[in-house]
Amino acid sequence: MSPSPRTYLVECFWPGVDEAQVAAAAERVADDASVVCHELILVPADEIVLGLFHARSQTAIAEASRRAGLPSERIVESIRIQPGDQDVGAGHDGRRDGTPAGAHRSSDAGLTSPAPNPSR
């Protein structure tokens, strides 16, 4: 039984990268069935590309990134939270476990986003 898909943040240090190179890599990774790339963000001043992926493992992302020409330096499991989700008490899966509605848990291993700040 393979593990359930998880969300990962990928950091790519890519000296001299430009928007056209990132767009081309985005097209290549979109064609890879082993991962889902939600977004690539180019930070030209720092020569980095940040990517948000959904996959069964870090290895799957590393391999897909390599095939797409993305020089992934760091791949970390993450929690995706969508702005505008107001129901903090119910999880995105309908359970009332404290996970904000906008949080996309990467597994049922108890990972949640930080508690809201009541002073705001």
Give CA separation, 34 vs 16, 61, 78, 97, in Å.
28, 8, 18, 30
Q: Write out the residue range of the structural domain in which residue 54 sits.
A: 1-107
pTM score over 0.85: no
pLDDT tens digits, one per residue of 4-38: 889 999 999 999 999 999 999 999 999 999 999 99
What are the residues whose beta carbons fall under 8 Å from the beta carbon of 108, sequence distance 6 or more? 4
Within a domain: 95: yes
Residue 10 lies in a domain: yes
pLDDT tens digits, one per residue of 36-85: 999 999 999 999 999 999 999 999 999 999 999 999 999 999 998 888 86
Residue 116 maps to a domain: no
**Total number of domains constituting the chain:** 1
